[in-house]
Structure 1
Amino acid sequence: MNSQKSKKPELLCPAGSALALDAAIEGGANAVYLGGTAMNARIHAGNFTPEALREAVKKAHAYGVKIYLTLNTLVTDYELPAFLEAAWDAAQSGVDALIVADAGGAMAIRRAIPDLELHASTQMSGHNSEMAKVLQSFGFSRMVAAREISEGNLKLLLQNSPIETELFVHGALCVCHSGQCLFSSMVGGRSGNRGECAQPCRLPYGKAGDYPLSLKDLSLVKHIPKLISLGVSSLKIEGRMKSPEYVRDVTTVFRRLLDEERGANEKEMQILTDAFSRDGFTDAYFTEKINSSMLGVRREADKENTRRVSSFAGLAKKVEIELFASIRQNEPAMLTLKKGDLPVTVSGEIPQTAKTAPLSKADVERSLSRMGATPYRIEKAEIELDDGLIMPVSQLNNLRRRAVEALDEAQMPKKRERFPIAWSAERREPTARRTARFYRPEQITARAQAYFERIFLPLDSYSPLANGVVLPAVIFDRDFPIIRQKLRSVKEQGAKWALTGNLGHLSLVREVGLIPVGDYRLNITNRESAAFYRSIGLEEPILSPELTLPQLRDIGGESQTIVYGRIPLMTLEKCISKEKGGCRLCETGKQTLTDRKGIVFPVLREWEHRNIIYNSLPTAMSDRLDQLIKYRIFSWHFIFSVETPDEIDAVINAYQKGIPIGKQIRRIGS
């Protein structure tokens, strides 16, 4: 059970630059999240070098503000050592936690730096309390919940989560579930999972001026009292790519509302709108009012409002501290600075006997109280001074500088110990297996039954023609009873395996006695991740479709590769068909999206009103089997979505004979 019920949430704010960090502190942030120069999901933000990161931590800690570093991208085997070095540099810089998305990378950090706090990024697709329980067992202290979570599902998650829950409450809203978007990667070659998203969701589709994937910015600013009462641990503001002015204004509004435990008024809503808006804000997922009113684009009027926002001049806030100085004859000068309950003391030179004008208390206080560009301001000063003594101003200044440095250092965590680790995952001998998922039972032909060892169908369209089931991409806590019931039903009908794409779904699969097979949604891009998922019982996981042939070879072993099919590009909690004319198109499987260039993307229903957008072209390697053999890729997985039975048989024939499938395709990268 979550024990945070009576505690006011942390206010967690973004910083893409040193000035934005100042703005967050000035606005009243309790914690700030920021990125290093690599391996974070906002690679085009200003970000922080190792030296700048240490200075940022020192400054933030002086103000009582925590720093979380984002290492929230997927990493390849080649990058794992550098990833671990980045984590170690962050630990040495004194960060309070790392926000991570790569399971294998996280496990390496846990072994090497066991006392460094880990938070599970929203890129890990955390949306239920079972996920939180699994994360706790592997050393995570916090999970960032999906932006799509409703109030009801959030309440259930919080009631049953053993770790802290962080929730996005303001900022840009992707239309796809975090960690499940391959659109930018598959279509444009820029991976959102690696911090390079090209934002295809912000482009028009269909009729001119139609933006069915562009959502307004999220804002739960009117629900602050509810979020406090529910027991959310941290309220997170999105915006590492935004200006310092945005950070200042949004942080200031949320700080006031948290302190006063109320929702925003009209004036405060205008401040947020002026800071940044896409034709307003939405809380539709939280309130479960999911419809076309969520859609929004950045208008010229929005830009004009933002241009009127006053510039941020820099950090003016100071931290009040106390000063105590002792300057006595024949004793080293002593200076104590005290911040709250934290005192530090340094000693200096022995004062000399004055021949002319001796020191006065005012002289000493004036020299020692000059805090200058430091975060501090002297609230109270006590000076003990013997008569007839003198000390050069340079010695007093040096005493003050060393005391400030000591106070800064005292607020940094103790140096962490690093343990040498052996990379846990050895290359395993590859297995050979052919498996496939189908969208509808009628697609499963006799030839398919003969060719594939494992055949999967979606949970809500299962048939005994299959021997495996595909779990929904997202299973909120509220869905568990019905999913459990359906899983028991398909097991009774002969299902043996369950394609499982989320840590939070494992308990359901095990409970009903099915064998979990790791789905591509786990985003496995390195051997460490593959080994981790196998170690917790996920059989022969399907590797990320973002990988190249050499990268797939490097992981190898007991894993599968998607060698055919339209790759699912987006998982939407909203239903495009419902917005574009009702459920008929969804039911017939004829819903599509057409981009500016006339490229058509199929859209299929997944679970209830959730949509999956598929790639316009299938991946195919039927006429390049020699390449698959060269890279030791022997376990093949096929995705059949909109293909007819005849087209499916033609695909199987092409792979049996090593010939082209006869239509436009895309390749696995080399």
Structure 2
Amino acid sequence: MAKHPDKITPPEILSPAGNYDALLGAIKGGTDAIYLGVGEFNARQGASNFTPEEMENAIDLAHLHGISVYLAFNVPVKETELQDAIDVIDRAYAAGIDAVIMRDLGFIELVKKNYPDLPIHGSTQLNTNNTETVKFLEKLGLSRIIVARELDTAELKHIIDSTDMDIEIFAHGALCYSYSGQCLFSSFAANRSANRGACAQPCRWKFDLFINGKNMNHHIGGVSPISCAELCTLPGLEELINTGIKSLKIEGRMKRAEYVTASSEIYKETAEITCQDEKPDSNWLQERENDLAKLFYRGFTRGFVLGDRNVTHPEYSSSYGAFLGKTRRVKRSKNAASIKVKLNQTLEVNDGISIHTKQRMLGSKVERLTVDGGDVEVAEKGSIPYIHISPKTVKSVKTGDDVYLNTDVSLLEEMGERDVKKVPVNFQIRANIGRQLEITASAGDIEVLHVSDYLIQEPKKAPTSVEQITDIIKRLGDTPYVADKIELKGEEDIFIPLGELTRTRRSVVEKLQQKQLERFHRHPKNPKLPAAKHKTGNKIPGKLLLSVEVADIEGAKAAADSGADVIYIPADLFDKVENNKELVLKVKRDNIEIVFTLPAIIHEKELEEWTNVLRKIKIKEYTVGCGEPGILSLAHQMEIKCVALKSFTIFNSPTTNVLQANGASRVILSPEITLEEMKNVVQASDNTIQFEAIAYGRQQLLVTEHDLLKPIVEKGFYGEDSNAFLQHKKKDRYPIKRWRNRTVIYDSHVINMLNNLDDMKNTGIDYLRLEFSHESNRKIASVVSDFRNILDGKSKKNITDSKVYSKGLYYSGI
């Protein structure tokens, strides 16, 4: 068990660097570490990201400023990408990257095997919620875990106290509505994978919430019901630091450099004050929070981590700034318009404001400010100016509308004009007549010497003065250094050409920089992955088996009666299954395999419950479906036959190998890969592991800790049998279920590959998987029978085209 000292060291501040300007912004803000992405192998493809060459330069620049660099490589890797992916790792390794942030279990093992000395940080995409998953990842070789955003501080501290690994959390920035790594919404709604870093942000879309045919938007506060507010833990930083957290991460690789500077600086300063046993002044904290809001704001939430259970901001889903005040009067004419507002913030001409009208949020630049009849450049907080804005904007504005400051020009200029903090260097110049010019430069514990070929001369005319020498040494230009102490040893009445002095200074600085970076640079390893070893026999099974996932006992009976070879059923129904003699006799007689599925989300407080269920499953010798590493590891230790569920996001054969080594005899491939990509995985994997792929089903798009339907339930409008869905643009309907106060959202379409079974069979998979989350027992029986009859050669029935059915991503890809 980890022990934490009484005196707490400030946690690392980890800042986003989506491009070079943001990297400079992070350095200006005094960050401790930055994270960046290269090309498409990261979860922010929308950021500018870095080329491999830019990455190398960024690593060097950060290291010269004493800043660590982590490479975000937090996406699942396709089978055909493995060599390219490890080539990027190799280049980062050689350049001196401090750690790699990863989520692909198989690729983690590949990297660890080839680079045992390279620290790996487990991405929040791994969805770590309990100590068993922490143990699994520690065994895999990780040195740090970015835990799930949904943990509260008690859960966080319990995990920190149970491990010697570093634990990192997100402290500020955008929140995903879904548990990270478990979202398919963007893939199936917009053909852009969130898991692969190309999220279209469907959670920011406008939706109508319907319960039993009635629109319920007025009960949940707006038309963006699943849009999250921005996380801001600044007021609760002391509580977070007291858990023993190692690193506070700021989200924002797609945000501007000024945001990175301000957020880095504010969180670092607050953390340092807190760790000095001082409590930050509440007014000071509020001002800092206002600055953060001016740079990006769509409402702030303290997050699940600080006990805020309602993390959404349904009223408006885009950034609109810090609250400025309410309109007291609106004046308009054909060519001019103004609003009167008592200011909650200082306002300047050319600032940007947002006005929340009944129709929508409107934006405008502040063209003029008038106080007591006279124009001013700055209106102070507490004053009541007329704010002159565009006449077009003011048309919809009414008295009482909220006004926000969304662009603070002075704050942006202040952040932009900050100097990059430079490294102090001490110089010693030795100059004696008849001897070579020597300059020593030292920074920290590193010291270098450069000896010039030039011999110091007696002056023929005027000597070279101490002031001239000092002035030349100070000219460090765009280097990361600033001259701190300059000491001249030797004779005073000497002559050194200023050009020679400049060349010698430049040489010694280059040596210093080279020596500083030598500590980080490594020799590349250039690993070449072996060519995929294809199965030599039985590449395509003679007969596909049929697995069926159902939600209840009656669905299980319908599946059993209609020809299922395997039935998946929720593990919390274990006792009901065992008590249903008819079903038990049926599955035994027909040799049907029962798989009890456990959730993909299991918090520490739920671990004991599911461990007890595992014990029951073991006694009866059933199979268990595991959706997260901790439960897979437990089941493996208990010697229970396991299936790795699709929540593991399986894209490649190394991942199937890791899962097999940890007890999985069968895996369900990700529905995000194409049939061709599926074939690549099957052919490259071990012969002894089996594969399932979805042939029918309405996909679960996300699961969230947010209880979307809670206000509807409390008002009595929702029950277990209610029909709930989100509707987008009056066409796509996304069904919703409430499970243990969590929210589960499903796709508006149903994958149906009945007409394409030969294509699925040719991938080499062993099982066709049919999933039924909402269908009636009659529908389950009908669909299972249709697939059974085709597999048995009894029917060639084809489904007709339907707007409800789709082929998922099997042909289009992501």
Instruction: Indicate if the aligned counterparts of 1:425 and 1:531 stay in contact, CA closer than 8 A.
Output: no
1:375 aligns with 2:480: yes
1:592/1:513 CA distance change after superposition, 3 Å: farther
1:603 CA displacement: 1.6
Match in the other structure for 1:227: 240
- Which of residues 523, 528, 553 is equivalent to 1:441? 553
1:546/1:17 CA distance change after superposition, 3 Å: same
**Which has the higher mean CA deviation after the structures are superposed, 175-184 or 280-289?**
280-289
1:446 CA displacement: 4.7
Match in the other structure for 1:603: 736
1:393 CA displacement: 2.5
Instruction: Indicate if the aligned counterparts of 1:100 and 1:106 stay in contact, CA closer than 8 A.
Output: yes
For residues 485 and 406 of structure 1, the distance between their equivalents in structure 2, rounded to whole angstroms, comes to: 63
**Which has the higher mean CA deviation after the structures are superposed, 228-237 or 203-212?**
203-212
For residues 438 and 17 of structure 2, the distance between their equivalents in structure 1, rounded to whole angstroms, comes to: 38
Match in the other structure for 1:474: 601
Match in the other structure for 1:2: 2
- Which of residues 746, 771, 782 is equivalent to 1:614? 746
* Residues 520-669 of structure 1: pairs in structure 2 closer than 5 A: 520-556=646-682, 558-582=690-714, 585=718, 587-588=720-721, 590-606=723-739, 608-655=740-787, 656-657=789-790, 658-661=796-799, 663=802, 664-668=804-808, 669=810
1:354 CA displacement: 3.2
**Which has the higher mean CA deviation after the structures are superposed, 4-13 or 328-337?**
328-337
1:573 CA displacement: 0.8
- Which of residues 269, 272, 293 is equivalent to 1:273? 293
* Residues 106-505 of structure 1: pairs in structure 2 closer than 5 A: 106-206=108-208, 209-261=222-274, 262=279, 265-278=285-298, 280-291=299-310, 295=314, 297-298=317-318, 300=320, 304=353, 305-308=405-408, 309-311=411-413, 312-313=416-417, 315-329=419-433, 331-354=435-458, 356=460, 357-386=462-491, 389-412=494-517, 413-418=520-525, 420-423=527-530, 426-428=533-535, 429=539, 432-448=544-560, 451-462=563-574, 463-464=577-578, 465=583, 467-492=594-619, 494=620, 496-505=622-631
Q: Secondary structure at the match of 1:215?
A: coil
Greater strand share, 1 or 2? 2
**Which has the higher mean CA deviation after the structures are superposed, 611-620 or 512-521?**
512-521
Instruction: Indicate if the aligned counterparts of 2:598 and 2:627 stay in contact, CA closer than 8 A.
Output: yes
1:647 CA displacement: 0.6
Per-residue CA deviation, residues 322-360 of structure 1 (Å, 9 max, x unaligned), is 112223455443322211222222332232423514434
1:569/1:447 CA distance change after superposition, 3 Å: closer
Instruction: Indicate if the aligned counterparts of 2:635 and 2:663 stay in contact, CA closer than 8 A.
Output: no
Per-residue CA deviation, residues 568-623 of structure 1 (Å, 9 max, x unaligned), is 101111122223334874622622222223221112234x2122211111111112
Per-residue CA deviation, residues 223-277 of structure 1 (Å, 9 max, x unaligned), is 1111221100000000010111111111121111111004662212211211211
Q: Secondary structure at the match of 1:173?
A: coil
Q: Secondary structure at the match of 2:710?
A: helix
1:448 CA displacement: 2.9
Identity over aligned pairs, percent: 30
1:111 CA displacement: 2.2
For residues 53 and 614 of structure 1, the distance between their equivalents in structure 2, rounded to whole angstroms, comes to: 39
For residues 578 and 513 of structure 1, the distance between their equivalents in structure 2, rounded to whole angstroms, comes to: 39
Match in the other structure for 1:22: 24
For residues 348 and 586 of structure 1, the distance between their equivalents in structure 2, rounded to whole angstroms, comes to: 85
1:509 CA displacement: 2.2
Instruction: Indicate if the aligned counterparts of 1:577 and 1:586 stay in contact, CA closer than 8 A.
Output: no
1:2/1:85 CA distance change after superposition, 3 Å: same
Max Rg structure: 2
What 5-or-longer segments of structure 1 have no aligned partner?
Answer: none
For this pair of structures, how many residues does the alignment match? Answer: 667
1:35/1:578 CA distance change after superposition, 3 Å: same
For residues 550 and 293 of structure 1, the distance between their equivalents in structure 2, rounded to whole angstroms, comes to: 39
For residues 134 and 333 of structure 1, the distance between their equivalents in structure 2, rounded to whole angstroms, comes to: 59
Instruction: Indicate if the aligned counterparts of 1:2 and 1:164 stay in contact, CA closer than 8 A.
Output: no
Q: Secondary structure at the match of 1:184?
A: helix
For residues 719 and 270 of structure 2, the distance between their equivalents in structure 1, rounded to whole angstroms, comes to: 42
User: What code does the residue aligned with 1:659 have?
Assistant: K
1:301/1:63 CA distance change after superposition, 3 Å: closer
1:516 CA displacement: 2.2
For residues 118 and 447 of structure 1, the distance between their equivalents in structure 2, rounded to whole angstroms, comes to: 44
Q: Secondary structure at the match of 1:230?
A: coil
Instruction: Indicate if the aligned counterparts of 1:455 and 1:467 stay in contact, CA closer than 8 A.
Output: yes
1:238/1:299 CA distance change after superposition, 3 Å: closer
CA RMSD for the aligned pairs?
2.4
Match in the other structure for 2:376: none
Q: Secondary structure at the match of 1:348?
A: strand
1:4/1:242 CA distance change after superposition, 3 Å: farther
User: What code does the residue aligned with 1:476 have?
Assistant: H
Instruction: Indicate if the aligned counterparts of 1:74 and 1:523 stay in contact, CA closer than 8 A.
Output: yes
For residues 112 and 530 of structure 2, the distance between their equivalents in structure 1, rounded to whole angstroms, comes to: 12
Instruction: Indicate if the aligned counterparts of 1:469 and 1:495 stay in contact, CA closer than 8 A.
Output: no
Q: Secondary structure at the match of 1:443?
A: helix
For residues 430 and 230 of structure 1, the distance between their equivalents in structure 2, rounded to whole angstroms, comes to: 52
Instruction: Indicate if the aligned counterparts of 2:713 and 2:719 stay in contact, CA closer than 8 A.
Output: no
Instruction: Indicate if the aligned counterparts of 2:540 and 2:763 stay in contact, CA closer than 8 A.
Output: no
**Which has the higher mean CA deviation after the structures are superposed, 339-348 or 13-22?**
339-348
For residues 308 and 40 of structure 2, the distance between their equivalents in structure 1, rounded to whole angstroms, comes to: 38
Instruction: Indicate if the aligned counterparts of 2:551 and 2:570 stay in contact, CA closer than 8 A.
Output: yes
1:81 CA displacement: 1.1
User: What code does the residue aligned with 1:415 have?
Assistant: R
For residues 32 and 329 of structure 1, the distance between their equivalents in structure 2, rounded to whole angstroms, comes to: 48
Instruction: Indicate if the aligned counterparts of 2:564 and 2:784 stay in contact, CA closer than 8 A.
Output: no
1:561 CA displacement: 1.0
Instruction: Indicate if the aligned counterparts of 2:626 and 2:645 stay in contact, CA closer than 8 A.
Output: yes
**Which has the higher mean CA deviation after the structures are superposed, 580-589 or 520-529?**
580-589
Per-residue CA deviation, residues 393-445 of structure 1 (Å, 9 max, x unaligned), is 23322222222222223332031451635449633446654322211221113
1:547/1:253 CA distance change after superposition, 3 Å: same
Instruction: Indicate if the aligned counterparts of 1:320 and 1:377 stay in contact, CA closer than 8 A.
Output: yes
Q: Secondary structure at the match of 1:559?
A: strand
1:222 CA displacement: 1.4
Q: Secondary structure at the match of 2:199?
A: coil
User: What code does the residue aligned with 1:271 have?
Assistant: D
User: What code does the residue aligned with 2:534 have?
Assistant: R
Instruction: Indicate if the aligned counterparts of 2:301 and 2:308 stay in contact, CA closer than 8 A.
Output: no
For residues 90 and 416 of structure 1, the distance between their equivalents in structure 2, rounded to whole angstroms, comes to: 11
Q: Secondary structure at the match of 1:350?
A: strand
Instruction: Indicate if the aligned counterparts of 2:320 and 2:406 stay in contact, CA closer than 8 A.
Output: no
Instruction: Indicate if the aligned counterparts of 1:467 and 1:495 stay in contact, CA closer than 8 A.
Output: no
User: What code does the residue aligned with 1:29 have?
Assistant: T
User: What code does the residue aligned with 1:354 have?
Assistant: E
Instruction: Indicate if the aligned counterparts of 1:438 and 1:456 stay in contact, CA closer than 8 A.
Output: yes
For residues 501 and 143 of structure 1, the distance between their equivalents in structure 2, rounded to whole angstroms, comes to: 18
Q: Secondary structure at the match of 1:643?
A: coil
